[in-house]
């Protein structure tokens, strides 16, 4: 198993990860994005994708938005989605993805990385607590549909 950042020209592997998200997040019906949209997103400097690969296939991954900071001038990493294929869960792959991303952010001189989990998603909360974060906060999330 290998963990790595996707290159800007690997939209096909990004599509595999998006399909994995759809399955693991039980998104039915699944609004699969157009490959051209994924190509454009991969070109953006503020968007990163890290994947766990086994035998040429994506078995897990996460997406990150870089938020440029204005207090310190250092960016923050917002982990947007993380999933591992069901048959590979419980093998430490999610924790390895988090550790890889954390090291990447440290090397790139990010100030912090953060992720949110829904208050009723006990599996996600338990998982992120096991990744040994430096802190945990409760927040209320407000959404404005446009």
Split into its structural domains, the chain has a count of: 1
Whether the per-residue pLDDT at 140 is higher than 90: the answer is no
Spatial distance between the Cα atoms of 73 and 111, rounded to a whole number of angstroms: 9
Selection from 125, 25, 130, 127 nearest residue 138 by Cα: 125
Helix spans in 25-142 (H): 35-43, 93-107, 122-130
Q: Write down the H helix ranges in 1-146.
A: 11-24, 35-43, 93-107, 122-130
- Asked whether residue 95 is assigned to any structural domain, the reply reads yes
- What range does the domain containing 28 cover? 2-130
Considering the entire predicted model, what is its pTM?
Answer: 0.92
Higher pLDDT, 32 or 5: 5
Kindly give, in sequence order, each residue whose CB lies less than 8 Å from that of residue 68, ignoring residues fewer than 6 positions away: 46, 75
122 occurs within a structural domain = yes
Specify the CATH number for the domain of residue 100. 3.40.630.30
- Domain assignment of residue 33, yes or no: yes
pLDDT tens-digit profile of 26-48? 888 888 899 999 999 999 999 99
| 107 lies in some domain | yes
Backbone angles phi, psi at 76, to 5 degrees: -115, 150
* Cβ pair 64, 50 in contact under 8 A: yes
Quick one: pLDDT at residue 93? 98
**Residue 106 placed within a domain:** yes
d(CA 58, CA 23): 13
138 found inside a domain: no
């Amino acid at each position: 198993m290998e963990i790595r950042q996707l290159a800007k020209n690997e939209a096909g592997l990004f599509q595999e990860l998006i399909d994995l998200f759809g399955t693991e997040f039980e998104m039915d019906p699944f609004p699969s994005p157009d490959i051209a949209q994924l190509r454009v997103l991969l070109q953006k400097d503020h968007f990163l994708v890290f994947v766990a690969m086994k035998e040429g296939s994506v078995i897990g991954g996460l997406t990150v938005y870089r938020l440029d900071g204005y207090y310190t001038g250092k960016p923050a990493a917002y982990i947007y989605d993380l999933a591992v294929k069901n048959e590979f869960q419980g093998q430490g792959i999610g924790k390895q993805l988090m550790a890889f991303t954390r090291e990447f952010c440290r090397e790139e001189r990010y100030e912090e990385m953060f992720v949110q989990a829904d208050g009723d998603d006990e599996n996600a909360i338990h998982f992120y607590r096991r990744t040994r974060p430096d802190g945990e906060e409760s927040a209320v999330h407000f959404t404005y549909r446009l």
